[in-house]
Every structure is written in structure tokens, then in C-alpha cells.
Structure 1
Amino acid sequence: MKKIIVAVALTLSCAVAAMAADTITLPAKNGNVTFNHKKHQEALKDCKACHEKAPGKIEGFGKDAAHKLCKGCHETKKAGPTKCGECHKK
């Protein structure tokens, strides 16, 4: 029974990842941010790098979380945009 539950959970998590939008647009006062979810998913391979609890909408995600999580990751990995205009497009 436990194996069946694990198999179902694994199948559901893969299905959620497969259904995730390829590109997400986040509205912002100084220009919307277009986030390529598929590209990040393929590069990171670990949903928990961004999604602490489980795949899906990140609870409490906003300006402060984006700057800490996204910009912080880009700075650490020395890859991706780190300046305002590189993400925010009017």
C-alpha cells in the first residue's frame, strides 16, 4: 500500500511540473518581469530550490521574496540578471 501511495504522489508531482506554465509574467510598478519557468526548471532540476513546500504558487511571493530568492540565486551562481532593468521591462 505504501508503494502505491508513493507512486501516486510521484506521478502527481511530475504531472504538476509538466503542467507548469512555460513563461510567467509578474506585474510590477517599474515594469513587468517575464520569468521563463521552463528554462529554470530544466537548469535547476530541483523544484525545492524555489518552492520550499511543494510545486505550485510560492506563498507570499512578491517584491522582497523575488529580490531575495531570484536575484540572490543569480548572484550566487553568477548567472542571470541582477540589475533592475534586466528583469523589469516597461
Structure 2
Amino acid sequence: MNRHISMITLVITLILTFCMAATHAANQGPDRIDIYGGRSGKVPFPHAQHQDRINDCNVCHSVFPQETEAIRKMKEKGMLKPKKVMNLQCIKCHKEEKKTGKPHGPVTCSTCHVKS
């Protein structure tokens, strides 16, 4: 009887582990993307690095959807004000991390934006 319970527990554990790994992999997204940066130039964005560090997609994607060129499209439709993403998302988070002494990303515009 105990052997059957142990076997069932093992099978359930394996199934749950597989499901969690598959869900995590499905939500990864690209390793690196270029974000629309307006006249200041594109922003090469280490997406996977941010996912590993933040662990909550909604931190960014509550502001803009998970789709290609979302920021550009929203700005063109007037749904995002200039510098909103940078000031309220990127720079804000990087400065908070810097204040607490944690490793942080760039805190100035020209560090991220690349003019073509």
C-alpha cells in the first residue's frame, strides 16, 4: 500500500514539474529585442535578463502588451506619452535598485538609446 502511494506521489510530482517547466518556457519570450525609442534611437533590450531578474511580466506588460512593436504602435496612437516607458518603468526601477545598492541598469537616456 505504501509503495503504491509513493509511486502515485512520484508520478504527480513529475507531472507537476513538467507542467511548471513547460509554462515557464512558454512565457520566456525572446532573449533580446529592440524597443522603439523614437527620435533618440532604438533601445537594445536584454529581455531574458529582465525576466530572470524581475520574475513578473506584469511589471512592464501592465503598461504595454506583449506584442511586436507595441510601444511604437501605442505612441503613434497617442496611448503612451513620450518618455513614459523610460521614466516610469526603466529609469525608475534602475534608480530604485541603485539606491538599495543592488546591481542596476543604466540611469541615463543616452546609455540605452542607439541612433542608427
TM-score for the superposition, normalised by structure 2 = 0.54
Q: Does 1:80 align with 2:109?
A: no
**Residue among 29, 34, 50 paired with 1:40:** 50
Larger radius of gyration: 2
Paired positions, count: 80
**Alpha-carbon RMSD:** 3.0
**Offset at 1:49?**
2.4
Report the Cα distance in structure 2 between the residues aligned to 1:39 and 1:84, rounded to whole angstroms. Answer: 19
Please list, as runs of the form range in 1=range in 2, the aligned pairs for 1:18-33 lying within 5 A after superposition.
18=28, 20-27=29-36, 28-33=38-43
The share of aligned pairs that are identical, in percent, is 31
Task: Give me the whole-angstrom Cα distance separating, in 2, the residues matched to 1:52 and 1:30.
Answer: 24
Q: Which residue of 2 aligns with 1:4?
A: none
Instruction: Output the amino acid matched with 2:33.
Output: I
Partner of 2:86: 66
More strand by share: 1
Q: Distance in 2 between the 1:71 and 1:12 partners? A: 32
> Is it true that 1:56 corresponds to 2:66 in the alignment?
yes
- What stretches of structure 2 of length at least 5 have no aligned partner? 1-15, 99-103
Q: TM-score, normalised by structure 1?
A: 0.66
Match of 2:11?
Answer: none
